[in-house]
Structure 1
Amino acid sequence: MRTFDLLAVILVLVDAVLLLRFRLAGSLQRFILVAVVLLLVAHLVAEGARWQMAPAYLAALLLCIAGTGIAPQGNVSRIALISGIVLLGIASIAFSIVLPVFQLPDPTGKYAVGTTTLELTDPSRVEDAGSQAGTKRRVVVQLWYPANPSGKPVARYMKLAETFALTSYRSVVPTNSRIDAPIATDGAPFPLLLFGGGWRGRRTESTFLTEDLASHGYVVAAIDHPYNAHRVAFSDGAVVDSTITAAIGGSFDIAPPAFIQAWDKELAKWIADERFVLDTLLAMNDDSKSRWFHQMNPNEIGAVGHSFGGSAAVGICSEDPRVRAAVNMDGYLFSALDERSTGQKLMVILEGARVYRSDNPLDKALGTYDFAKLDESLRKFGGYVLFVDGANHEDFSDQPLMSPFRRISQAGTLPAAQTHAIVRAYVQAFFDEALLGQHSALLEGHSHPYVAATFERWTSDDPPPMSMTFPITPPGASDLNSKK
């Protein structure tokens, strides 16, 4: 629990116990009630209302009733009322422990971080998932960027309109970014990175990474893809929920090529969204009237994404020569590698146990096929593969921060702080080298400080590296992916 709400709940509980035991009255009771009210007001102003604290709000109201003599005075009624207050206070503590107002890790770079949100409409494309014929495709884009220190408001993790009842508390979670902070005056033009979240995900889902990259001098543009993204809220009041199905393409046991063909239709839409966003940002970069005039380097562009967003990152890098490098964080590749050519840098980051230990039918259908295509591309064009042992799929997002209970957070056995530190270090090192030409010893593959990381550096026409410490071929599958 956060500072003000924890103090308020503790004071409610203490006052309830004192009322039960000593039947406080007069100035002392009024003092305690005023303190409770002031703490709750401070909580609402500084931290924002959220449903986890609703029982505490009710408990404070009942406490006021109990302390003013309005409540029934019989012993049984009094004990029942005060017991209810105590239970409500305990409920708020429990809810706040299970689903806390989580804290994002501090960025590690030299820059402060600014953020701004854009709504963009593509006049060249018609929305094929909307209910109104002829509606143009529009997306929401959030930028994180190097900023000068400022007193601008701290950005919240999500807007209230983007949440559901259970996740509404995320609209009060503070980030490390400030809304519309002035762009940093030194270091421009900055390299530009496109970010994509997961299937039915959201643009803020890996803020642990996007903020950190911005603090190291990158402009990061994260995209919400309407009708796939979990929920997209536009400034005109329109709210678009996901209409896409999880099992697109039918049964998971169909032949991988047919299965992939079905998913490729959505992948093509995501890549088109990213191209449109890139076109728009570069136009802003060339517009002398824009605050982004000459703030981004059109020759230093990369893409990164989690899960399906990782597939899109590889896809746009393969298809658009302006995008020079891509990082896929634990996403299948589908046909994203088909157009890859010389000069397009690639890093793939995977959970250590995703394919070869999994009984998931999707893994069985795609595992060997996907890794065979990846190995073929790595042998031909080179690249990097990073395995994070003890991580789960959601560890490459902010999800592990959202609860200390793994059943809810879907975290792996490796602590989230360690996974995020590994991902931050390797992603930054990769883009520093691929876009900026800055050599990184971390990418040599000889040694590194992370026990849970297994790293491979592939060079074209070289035999596969021998750095693997465990097999990645699914049990029973043909050894198309042998590293021997």
Structure 2
Amino acid sequence: MKTLELAFIALAILVALSLFVLPITRPYVRHLGGVCLLILAICQIVVEGYRWQMIPSYILGATILLLMTAKPTFTSSRSKVFFILFLVLWVPVSIILPIAVPVFTLPYPTGPYDTAKTMYHLTDSNRDERVTLDESDKRELMVSIWYPTTEQKQQAGRYIDMTSTVQKSIAEHLEVPSFLLEYINHIRTHSVKDSTVAESQEKFPIIILSHGLPGNSMMYTSIAENLASHGFVVAAIDHTYYSNLTIFPDDNVTFSKAILPEPFKLEKWDDIISSVWVKDQQYIVDFVHSLDNDPSFAGKLDFNSIGVLGHSFGGAASYQTLLADERIRAAVNMDGTFFGKIQDIPTSTKPYLYMKVKEREKVGDQVSIEEELTSLGLTVQQFNELTTSLHNRQQIYTNYGAYEATFTGLKHMSFNDFYLYSPILSIADKVNVREDHNMINWLLVQFFNKTLYNNDTTIFDNGENPYTRITIIHPNTN
């Protein structure tokens, strides 16, 4: 909740209580409180902006002002009971709603650079789009690039750029009234738009970032901003038709509409990774090389230091791209399953970090487990075969010699901004959002500092780990 929002609700409650506590012979005190309440409401709307979550609070304030104008005496017990009942029922709603659906604040980047963001609409003319029915369609992608800057003169950009047309499209897709999405325009990042790239004695390494399935690049803003603040250029892909939200410059919005295989058909999941997602990542590598002809980035990118980072399905793609593309120097898989066509033990020894959530023991009787599997479209036999196959694949990367970081107390969705969207989410899943983000961001910077900046003072060199909830296994020591 924002500062003026909190102040307005607190003052409204105090003024309401004054109607009971302060003597009728001192009405000027009440009137002063009412005037302050009205002024604060105007200031809150002008400075912080209107959002629908505050409507109950505005109704609370308006009701109080109306009662003050009517000069209530509350001489009868009935009037007192009615007003007390109104406060008991309405005040919690006024407080809880703006907290439950907040204009949240992203974690502040920890690096020495300010950050900026720019976006590109790309078309790969060499690849057909396999999701749409139009045979002439080529693969189109949106890529958001976060990078270091030293100019922060303008206001930081929005978390998501929504024109009224985009807002309407999203609302129709979600089947909700459009006004419910208006508050998102108040959410700000820490990055300015299209600023100049920072000057540096060294060229900046590049990191390709892929979201999960479903997911979108916006959900990884906090990770991208933090890496950019430490001197990395982060190119985050929206994998069109697999992303649950891709916004193109003409306000055309696409959602996730790719037909996905059944859970146990690994060969089809492997094909999506290797034939679509890996090729998307490789195409973005091609694109960032072309930025050397862009005056904004010319001479500032280190094309010999390219890493790839992905979460979940994007994490699976990052491992495959590391093995398939000689231009990739290092990769991170954030809690992703090992899908992809390359499943032989590789001869490459390029650095790889697998970040995973510590698994909980499954508790439940055989009947409840079978019911859960049925809801996923799996039989027990299919599930056992799938588990065995994925375990064998995991052993391949273990033999490969990867770093493995196990996080205690995290969830699969802790690796993006999901739990910032509402405290209800973090309370329900019992996660510590801010600390979790700090741990994840810290380890990512440590890994990419080592592998792309050749820094030899990281945890992977000296073993100094400030977080007890991270356990790291080094290559060939597990």
TM-score, normalization by structure 1: 0.80
Kindly report which structure 2 residues correspond to 1:345-356, keeping only aligned pairs within 5 A, or say none.
Answer: 345-353=351-359
Aligned-pair identity in percent equals 28
Structure 1 residue 373 corresponds to structure 2 residue 393: yes
Corresponding position of 1:475 = none
Distance 1:115 1:352, change over 3 A: same
Is 1:210 matched up with 2:230? no
Equivalent residue number for residue 342 of structure 1: 348
Alignment of 1:17-416 (within 5 A): 17-19=17-19, 31-69=32-70, 84=86, 87-130=89-132, 134-160=136-162, 161=166, 169-244=183-258, 248-250=260-262, 252=263, 254=264, 258-262=265-269, 264-265=271-272, 268-287=275-294, 290-335=295-340, 337-338=342-343, 341-353=347-359, 361=373, 366-379=386-399, 381-406=400-425, 410=429, 412=431, 415-416=432-433
**Does the 8 A contact of 1:206 with 1:397 survive in 2?**
yes
Which sections of structure 1, spanning at least 5 residues, go unmatched? 459-463, 467-484
1:430 to partner: Cα distance: 1.7
* AA in 1 matched with 2:48: E
One-letter amino acid of the structure 1 residue matched with residue 469 of structure 2: A
| Deviations 1:142-182 (CA, angstroms, capped at 9, x unpaired) | 22111104221112322344765666544322322222233
Amino acid at match of 1:200: P
In structure 1, C-alpha distance between the alignment counterparts of 2:121 and 2:20, rounded to whole Å = 56
- The 2-side partners of 1:137 and 1:74 are apart by 73
CA distance in 1, matches of 2:332, 2:326: 16
Q: What CA deviation, in whole Å up to 9, does each residue of 1:13-69 have, x standing for no partner? A: 233343466679987666544433443343334433333222223334444544445
Alignment of 1:403-442 (within 5 A): 403-406=422-425, 410=429, 412=431, 415-442=432-459
| Structure 2 gap segments, 5+ residues each | 377-382
User: Within 1, Cα distance between the matches of 2:464 and 2:385?
Assistant: 34
The residue matched to 2:298 in structure 1 has which SS?
coil
Distance 1:195 1:48, change over 3 A: farther
In structure 2, the CA distance between the partners of 1:89 and 1:232, relative to structure 1 (3 Å rule), is farther
The match for 1:4 is 4
Partner of 1:479: none
Tell whether the 8 Å contact from 1:388 to 1:454 is kept in structure 2 after alignment. Answer: yes
SS at match of 2:140: strand
Partners of 1:24 and 1:266 in 2: CA distance: 76
Q: What amino acid maps onto 1:351 in structure 2?
A: V
Q: Residues 298, 95 of structure 1: CA spacing in aligned structure 2 closer, same or farther, 3 A cutoff?
A: same
Say which SS state the counterpart of residue 218 (structure 2) adopts: coil
* Deviation by residue 1:241-271 (Cα, 9 ceiling, x = unmatched): 22246xx322x4x4xxx33424532553222
SS in 1 for 2:190: strand
Q: Is the 8 A contact 2:227 2:445 kept in 1?
A: yes
Distance (whole Å) between structure 2 residues aligned to residue 456 and residue 438 of structure 1: 19
Question: Cα distance 1:449–1:17, how it changes in 2: closer, same or farther (>3 A)?
Answer: closer
Q: Cα distance, 1:131 vs. partner? A: 6.2
Hey, which of these two has a bigger chunk of helix by percent?
2
CA 1:346–1:138 in structure 2 vs 1: closer, same or farther (change >3 Å)?
same
1:465 equivalent to 2:477? Answer yes
Aligned mates of 1:103, 1:392 — CA distance in 2: 20
Pair 440,335 (structure 1): closer, same or farther in 2 beyond 3 Å:
farther
Measured after TM superposition, the shift of residue 406 of structure 1 is: 4.9
Specify whether residues 35 and 294 from structure 1 end up closer, same or farther in structure 2 by C-alpha distance, changes over 3 A only. Answer: farther
Alignment CA distance shift 1:35-1:416 (3 Å): same
Q: Kindly indicate whether the alpha-carbon contact (under 8 Å) linking 1:66 and 1:81 is maintained by their aligned counterparts in 2.
A: no
Matches of 1:85 and 1:401, distance apart in 2: 29
SS at match of 2:336: coil
How far the C-alpha of 1:336 sits from its partner, in A, is 5.8
Is the 8 Å Cα contact of residues 345 and 383 (structure 1) preserved in structure 2? yes
Q: Do the aligned partners of 2:311 and 2:415 also contact (CA within 8 Å) in 1?
A: yes
Q: Structure 1 residues 313, 56: CA separation in 2 closer, same or farther (over 3 Å shift)? A: same
Q: 1:172 to 1:24 in 2, by over 3 A?
A: farther
Equivalents in 2 of 1:179, 1:240: separation in Å?
A: 23
Separation in structure 2 between the aligned mates of residue 70 and residue 129 of structure 1, nearest angstrom: 66
CA 1:404–1:357: 2 relative to 1, 3 Å? same
Letter in structure 1 aligned against 2:101: L
Distance of aligned partners of 1:45 and 1:220 in 2 relative to their CA distance in 1, 3 Å threshold: farther
Aligned 8 A contact 2:131 2:258 in 1: no
| Secondary structure of residue in 2 paired with 1:155 | coil
- Which residue identity lines up with residue 289 of structure 2 in the other structure? L
Higher mean displacement: 258-267 or 104-113? 258-267
RMSD, matched Cα: 3.4
User: Paired residues, what number?
Assistant: 448
Q: Could you tell me whether the CA contact under 8 Å between 1:337 and 1:377 is conserved in 2?
A: no
Q: 1:446 to 1:218 in 2, by over 3 A?
A: closer
